[in-house]
Structure 1
Amino acid sequence: MTRKQRRLYFVLLGLVALGAASALILTAISDSLVYFYTPSDLVGKPQPEGRRMRIGGLVQDHSVIRDGKSVTFVVTDLTHGLPVTYAGILPDLFREGQGVVVEGKMGTDGTFLAAEVLAKHDEKYMPKDVADALKKSGQWKEPKAN
């Protein structure tokens, strides 16, 4: 084997190793991606079962139902609503009319099964995606200046 052939084999072996490492990294990243949606984004679109996602919007007024172990409420972007079920301790700032982001999976019956509920911490904060969705729907209200 000549010196040129050995060098070529090492370069090819390095490229194969780099390709394998890239494939492993991309696979790991795609498994941990969590997509963000608003209720309007999900209307009439079937979602893959078991795929983790985030839903953002406001807790609809008069929709919170506490059932001992779980809480059911509706997340709305003021155009469409999505029922959410959560079994766990809600954040202290959780209430009707409050902005929330819930993370979990879509159930087979169309109810979102939340694994985590995040509530905004004051009236000035709103996740960018939620604010953009509210602006797009025409329901955005500018925060009041102090």
Structure 2
Amino acid sequence: MNEQRQIRFWVIVFVLCGSSITVLLAVFAIQDYIDHFYLPDEVVQGLAPYDRTIRAGGFVVLNSIKHSEDELSVEFQLTDMKDSTFLVRYTGLLPSLFREGQGTTVKGKLGVDGVFRAREVNAKHDENYVPPELKTLTE
């Protein structure tokens, strides 16, 4: 190879290496901000990771909402309307539209005991709305 081609080759190699390193660093940096969504059957089957922030959704089981004595902690169960149900614990104010039988998504961490500890609870906003992730459950 002549000298000019060799210089061009090494410039291309360094640019590709630099780009690869930049992409890898970006992926590792945003990895903590990506929340994967899981349906109740995936949570029950153990497909959802433990002690990592995830989102899960389903329908609130009838007669499953239990408020604690301090009125800020609440437990309820989410289901896929088939045979998969899991327990959710949440401390905070629930959305005003949150009620039994409604579609709900929760964000938090799944414990090794199978209890989902939610940091955030979202309820649907009207009688016709179904979150995109839950549309497969209603069909």
Category of TM-score, reference length = shorter chain: 0.7 to 0.9
**Matched residue SS, 2:12:** helix
CA RMSD of aligned residues (A): 1.7
Percentage of pairs with the same residue: 39
Matched residues in 2 for 1:42 and 1:98: separation?
A: 19
Q: TM-score, normalised by structure 2?
A: 0.87
Q: Does 1:23 align with 2:24?
A: yes
Q: Does 1:106 align with 2:110?
A: yes
Partner residue of 2:39?
38
Matched residues in 1 for 2:98 and 2:138: separation?
A: 19
Q: Which amino acid is 2:63 matched to?
A: H
Q: Which amino acid is 1:73 matched to?
A: F
Matched residues in 2 for 1:51 and 1:83: separation?
A: 17
Whether the 8 Å contact between 2:81 and 2:137 is mirrored in structure 1 is: no
Q: Which amino acid is 1:103 matched to?
A: K
Partner residue of 1:77?
80
Whether the 8 Å contact between 2:66 and 2:76 is mirrored in structure 1 is: yes
**Matched residue SS, 2:28:** helix
Give the deviation of 1:49 after TM superposition: 2.2
- Which of 84, 91, 97 pairs up with 1:93? 97
In structure 1, runs of 5+ residues without a counterpart are: 136-146
In structure 2, runs of 5+ residues without a counterpart are: none
| 1:28–1:50 CA distance, 2 compared to 1 (3 A) | same
Partner residue of 2:124?
120
Give the deviation of 1:46 after TM superposition: 5.5
Matched residues in 1 for 2:47 and 2:115: separation?
A: 12
**Matched residue SS, 2:88:** strand
Whether the 8 Å contact between 2:42 and 2:48 is mirrored in structure 1 is: no
